[in-house]
């Protein structure tokens, strides 16, 4: 990695650590107050994600028209504001929604910098580093945030605010480059978004990549929420730290997958990623059958490895497509729109199933079956011929 990419990876790690530490701090608050309504965690997660859908037209344009380090710094300040509001006693769902606004602003600028910092030839490797840092942050943020929150809610929230500030300051060391001049677009922001999406989806392989990534993030986010109810029911976990320990193995698996994927699945061999998704669906079903903490952790580790092998090359391909067309920041924002809409729908369906009395075992099995069916369908849609180079994306 060059120095700029190293700085971006460090800033991303701290910011993503904070996002996940806050989530498990709120879970600890819920457990400590015995407020364990089944709808609360899906609602909390949804509040974070709504901004990724609603703000898509604006955050993509910001990332492509203004220096990305400035966008990253302001996004971290928004996250500080959201965490501070929880610290001061605001309803955590509202505070986490503010943090979500910061995260939605952060994402297109973060991923949009990669083609400039790494170049097309090293784009998968750069994505592996950023994705690995993100998942490592999820790993340590969930475990560290839960441990801190079990000790002291105030300490956990103050620590997170400090990490967001450090992350913001690190982004000021990144190179300032003015976004490309793409002309003034007519119409409303949502009309422009629809235009970007049409242009993006017309690119070869783009629609298949978008749907595949949406499937991955929707299934992963839903599994994470199901674990919060499944672990106490099946494994007898009692605290936020116990639940976070399970997420630790899921996250470390993604780090391993992200680390080995550049050698196994370069952009020219993108179709190989479907095998990882097949395996992931089967492992979801296997997880539902586990009865001990150790076996559950091993299956979650394997799910994570498959997830890393699947998502990293697909992210790189979308960025390469975007850089050649609508702009990498806008492509990532459009990708976020699809992915987070899929996550919100999956959260809504899970909440509905809970209301209808569907247990966590059945929910995990259903999730695995959906992943397998969707993977088979998407595999049939993929073109058989391979591009000769990343420029063809």
Interval 216-260: pLDDT, tens: 888 888 887 888 778 877 887 767 777 777 877 887 888 788 778
Instruction: Give me the mean pLDDT over the 43-49 stretch.
Output: 83
Tell me the residue length of the chain.
393
User: Using CA atoms, how far apart are residues 309 and 264, in angstroms rounded to an integer?
Assistant: 8
Neighbouring C-alpha atoms within 13 Å toward the C-beta of 168: 20
Handedness of CA 317, 57, 173, 11 (dihedral sign): negative
Q: Which domains does the chain have, with CATH numbers?
A: 3-174+189-382 (1.20.1250.20)
Q: Which residues contact 34 (CB under 8 A, 6 or more apart)?
A: none
Q: What digits encode the pLDDT tens for the residues 75-107? A: 999 999 999 999 998 999 999 999 999 998 988
Cα angle vertex 360, ends 356, 364, to 5°?
Answer: 110
Using CA of residue 18, residue 21, residue 27, residue 30, what is the dihedral sign? Answer: negative
Integer Cα distance of 62 and 49 in angstroms: 19
Residue 264 has pLDDT above 90, yes or no: no
* Interatomic CA distance for residues 92 and 23, integer angstroms: 9
Q: Do 80 and 264 form a contact (C-beta atoms < 8 A)?
A: no
- Does residue 158 register a pLDDT over 80? yes
- Alpha-carbon distance of 131 to 250, in angstroms, equals 14
| pLDDT tens per residue across span 317-346 | 776 776 666 666 667 667 777 888 888 888
DSSP assigned state of 384 = S
Say whether pLDDT at 393 is over 50: no
Chain centre distance of CA 156: 22
Mean pLDDT of 17-32: 86
Give the model's pLDDT for residue 116: 72
pLDDT for res 167 = 93
For the ranges 52-66, 110-124, 373-387, the lowest mean pLDDT is seen at 373-387
């Amino acid at each position: 990695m060059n120095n700029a990419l190293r700085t971006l990876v460090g800033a991303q790690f701290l910011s993503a650590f904070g996002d996940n530490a806050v989530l498990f701090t709120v879970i600890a608050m819920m457990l400590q107050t015995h407020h364990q309504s089944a709808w609360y965690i899906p609602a909390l997660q949804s509040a974070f994600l709504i901004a990724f859908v609603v703000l898509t037209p604006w955050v993509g344009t910001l990332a492509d028209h203004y220096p990305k380090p400035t966008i990253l710094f302001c996004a971290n300040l928004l996250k500080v504001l959201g965490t501070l509001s929880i610290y001061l006693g605001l309803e955590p769902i509202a505070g986490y929604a503010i943090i979500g606004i910061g995260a939605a602003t952060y994402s297109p600028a973060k991923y949009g910098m990669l083609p400039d910092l790494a170049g097309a030839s090293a784009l998968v490797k750069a994505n592996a580093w950023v994705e690995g840092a993100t998942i490592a942050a999820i790993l340590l943020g969930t475990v560290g945030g839960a441990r801190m929150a079990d000790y002291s809610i105030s300490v956990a929230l103050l620590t997170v605010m400090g990490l967001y500030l450090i992350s913001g300051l690190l982004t000021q060391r990144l190179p300032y480059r003015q976004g490309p001049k793409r002309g003034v677009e007519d119409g409303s922001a949502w009309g422009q978004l629809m235009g970007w999406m049409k242009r993006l989806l017309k690119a070869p392989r783009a629609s298949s990549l978008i749907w595949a990534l949406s499937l991955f993030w929707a299934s992963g986010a839903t599994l994470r929420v199901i674990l919060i109810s499944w672990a106490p029911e099946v494994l007898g976990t009692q605290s936020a730290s116990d639940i976070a320990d399970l997420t630790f193995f899921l996250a470390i698996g993604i780090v391993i997958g992200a680390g080995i994927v550049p050698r196994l699945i370069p952009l020219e061999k993108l179709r190989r990623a479907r095998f990882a998704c097949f395996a992931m669906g089967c492992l979801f079903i296997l997880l539902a059958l586990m009865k001990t903490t150790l076996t559950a952790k091993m299956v979650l580790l394997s799910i994570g490895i498959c997830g890393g092998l699947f998502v990293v090359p697909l992210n790189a391909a979308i960025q390469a497509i975007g850089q050649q067309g609508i702009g990498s920041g806008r492509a990532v924002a459009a990708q976020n729109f699809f992915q987070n809409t899929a996550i919100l729908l999956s959260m809504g369906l899970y909440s509905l199933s809970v209301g209808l009395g569907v247990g966590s075992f059945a929910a995990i099995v259903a999730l695995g079956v959906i992943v397998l069916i969707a993977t088979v369908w998407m595999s049939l849609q993929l073109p058989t011929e391979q591009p000769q180079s990343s420029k063809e994306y």
